[in-house]
Structure formats: structure tokens, C-alpha cells
Amino acid sequence: MERLSGIDAAFTYLETPNAHMHVAMTAIFDTDTMPGGYSFDAIRRLIAERMHLVAPFRRRLVTVPFNLNHPIWIEDPDFDLDFHIHRVNAPEPGGRRELADVAARIASVPLDRSKPLWEIWVIEGLKQNRVGVVTKVHHSAIDGASGAEIMTTLYDLSPEGAEIEPPQPHEPEHIPNEWELIGYAMSSRFKRIINMPALIGRTVGNLSNVVSTRMSDETETHGALPLTAPPTPFNSAITPHRRVGFARVPLSGAKEIKEAFGVKVNDVVLAIMSGTLRKYLSDRGDLPDESLVACIPVSVRTEEEQGSANNRVSAMFAHLATQESDPAERLRLIADSTKGAKEEHNALGARLMTDWGEYAAPRTFQLAARLYSQMNMANMHRPIHNLVISNVPGPPFPLYFAGAKLIAAYPMGPIMEGAGMNVTVLSYEDNIDVGFMVDRELTPDVWDLAGAVEDAYDELLAAARSIAPNAQAPTEPKPKAATKKTPAKRKAPAKKTSAKRKAPAKKAAAKKAPAGTRVTERGATVRTARKKPASGTPST
């Protein structure tokens, strides 16, 4: 038995019939690498033999009587694997758009709270002997980092896979009765009451520091503030229906842009998304004069918390500089804004949001979320933020699922009331995979949005090469999954400033991951599954 943390529980309270709080990923696999050919049963067997290694897959929620405290996790005594693994066919001709349509329908249905909160959908009938796999898990069970941990358990480093040690015999977990739950709830509430004065004092002090810093130096670069985002067509009350779109750009080009401008990879990702949104809104005559504001999830997971399945996440707000036409200047403005946002986030306290989450009243929180949704209150005020943009570092080496090679992985995060768009980015091998989750009614033309990603990437790369003409072009060709072809060379846009930013020293090339070790790229931990002495090692 384990009580949900405040931030975990908040994702259950925020869920309404229109806002579904699950995260998902649509993966594409090449079945030609599967030993013996494609088999759905092989996929099911792999999941079954590794269930004991994935805690969120075995446990379900139990609500405390009278909502006296946050819900708890218990190991489901009636677990049925067939309830969670599904098999469907994609419509013809089985391309990316057909796969995305199936993924959107899956994402439009909330998870059953009476069962462990996850599903895996195997989508057959794709082109080139490929299959799609949509994995859907409730956000109360995982965040980005713990989601990567699940990947490490289910995926391998070679098509041959790995031998997994069977689970150790253990006594079934005790299912608490109502009186035990009430007693546990009252004890937890008492501890929180004791800790509240210290939290209030820390919060007031941190807020005072941030406010005084902003007032004392108006020229200093700062992050964005909630409720300052301009309205757009996708900032409105949402419906239960979703659309999904995919895009892909080369990782090497993003690194080239990073080196040329001396910024972070995350800044480059935000700049690509900024250019994408600018083009999409401008083409429709809906581009605001003010900058769009992005909510950016931030991991606050410590080294000691690696491997835990709970959420360890906070958020910061940054300007996307969508009002700026020059891509180089736009990237500079974004880098300044994210730097200020990080400083303010740290000044407030990285765990302030998670600490206050412990004090969320379950019944009040749930009623407020449902009332806000039912009354379409998101239409009555300025947007809190325009969209969520999340960047998750992935492995630079190939992965296999039941022997099938992972070709692409498009992550998809939940949309919120008033912000009907989520963009989640995952790096894998030599590419950056972008997943769009949008409200079907607010952004029906999601593929136009996805199609603008390559143009935004191209103009940034051209700007980078204009200030670093001797930079070596990427060695790999553009991925076939690109939405549309673009000319190999494009004229670099005029720069508004002549000052060149100094590029930092290049990082050493990543070493190949040894078997059975942890691999880290840009702070992302990848733990390979242990294997008995044999060839091949499991991975993410």
C-alpha cells in the first residue's frame, strides 16, 4: 500500500470527462527484425514476463472514504492482462496519418479507474511490414522520467532480447479496510498540519525574493507569468475528442544550431516549435502581436529518487517570441526567457508546487475542476498559458520490442482546459520525434501544424550556417518521415543584430552503452534490464 503524493493525486482530481489525464506514446516498429517473423503472441508474452518489473502496471487506485486524504495504490488482486493489451487494424493504406487517427481515438477515451491505469494497443496493417504500438498510462502513475524507466524494462538492445528472471514468490498484499484507510488518512493529515507553518514561511520568503528581483531590475530577462498569454484559436474550453499529428527532424541539425548560437538543446526545440506555431497561426491570420507563452514541465527528481514511479515534476513558463520574424533573434529571445524562467523557478523552490500539492483537498479540488470544465470557464479569462511543450531526452542507440526494431517514437501529453494543444518531443537515435496532441474541434488541421515543423527547422539551420559558414553539414540524410521535401539550401534570413554568440566547446561523443549499465544523455537515465550470461542486453 502506498499513498499517492499530492502532485500524483492532483492528476486524478484534474481529470474530467473532457480533460483526460493520461500520457501516451505512439511507436512504430519494423517487424522484419523479429525472430521467426511477426507475432502478436510474442508481444503479449514479452509484456507478461516483465509485468513484475513495472510497478505501475500491477497496481490500481483505492479511494479513501469521504475523500479524507489522497487515494492509495494497492496491488490489484484481480489483475487480468487481457484487459490491458488490445489488437486492432489500421485503416488502409496504413500510413502515418491512419496510424495517428487510431492513436487519436485511443487517446480520446479515459482509462478505467477500477483497473490498473494503463493500456497497450498493437496496431497492425501498416505499410512496409510495420506495426504501431500505442502505450497509454495515467499521469498519476508516471512522469517523463519514470515513463522512460518503463521503456527500459520493455525494450531490448538487440532483436534476440533478454532472459528475465521470474518474480520471487511473495504473499499477496493486504487490502486495507475502510477503518484502516480512515486511520491512515487522519495520521497523514495531522503530519501535514504540523509541516504547514514551515511551508508557508518558505513560500512567502521565496515569493518575496522573486517579486523584489523583478521590481528592482526591469531590464533583467525574466520568464513568463501565468495568465499573461494572448488568446489563440486553440485556447478555449476543450472537448473529449482528440487529434494526433507527428513530425520528425534530424538531431544533428539541432545540435549544429545549438553550437552556432551557444544555447541549450531545449532552447533549440522551443525555437523550432515557436517557428512552427508562428507559421501555422500566420497562415490563418491568427498570429497575436504578443509572444505565445509555453508551460514547460521540469523534472525535480533527485538521484535518490531515480527508479521511482511517482511524479517528480514542476513547471516553468517561458515566452516563445512568436512575434519576432527573424529566427536567429527569436532563438536569442527564447534562450533569455528560459534562462530567466529557470532562475525564477529555482528561486521559488524546485519542489514548491509538489510540496503544496500535498495540501490539495480531494473533494474540493475535484468539484472545482468539474465545475470549471462544465461551465466553460476557460473562455472567461485570459489563457493561463497557450500550450505545454515537453522535451524528453531519449537513447542514441536502437531499441527492440519483442525483436521488432523501434523506428520512431512519438510521445503525446495531455491537453488542459483552456490550452487545447500539447507538444511533446523525444530524441531517438539520430532524430527528434515530435508528437502533437490537440483538441479535435479547436485544431482540426493538426497535420498542417505538423507540416510546419520542417520549415521552422530549416530556417533555424540556415541562420546557424550563416553565422558559422564553416560548420559541417549533417552526415545523415533527412529522415523519410519528414512531412514534405524542402530545398537542400535556403537563403539565410537577415539578422537584426551583428553580434555573434560564442559557441561552447563541443561535447565528447557519446560512448556506446555497455551491457547491463545505465546510460545517460542530457540527464536522462536509461537503465538496461539485467540478462543472464548470453549475447544481447535489454534496454530502454
The catalytic residue positions are: 139
> Which value, in Å, is the radius of gyration of the alpha carbons in the chain?
23
Q: First-to-last CA distance in the chain?
A: 27
Reference 291, options 222, 342, 360, 348; nearest CA is: 222
| DSSP string over 304-343 | GGTT--S--EEEEEEE--TT---HHHHHHHHHHHHHHHHH
Alpha carbon distance 225, 319 (integer Å): 9
What is the three-state SS of 44-103? HHHHHHCHHHCHHHCEEEECCHHHCCCCEEEECCCCCHHHCEEEEECCCCCCHHHHHHHH
Give the neighbor-by-neighbor strand order of the sheet with 313-319.
242-250, 431-439, 421-428, 387-392, 293-299, 313-319
Per DSSP, the chain holds a count of helices (H) and strands (E) of: 11, 19
Reference 388, options 408, 413, 358; nearest CA is: 413
CB-CB contact of 326 with 496 (8 Å)? yes
Give the neighbor-by-neighbor strand order of the sheet with 404-412.
85-89, 118-124, 130-138, 22-30, 404-412, 400-401, 155-156, 538-539
- Three cell numbers written together for 294: 509555453
Axis-axis angle for helices 178-216, 327-348 (nearest 10): 120
Q: In 10 A of CB 187, how many CB atoms?
A: 10
CB-CB contact of 144 with 390 (8 Å)? yes
* Single-letter code of the amino acid located at 350: A
Alpha carbon distance 314, 407 (integer Å): 31
Reference 246, options 109, 428, 474; nearest CA is: 428
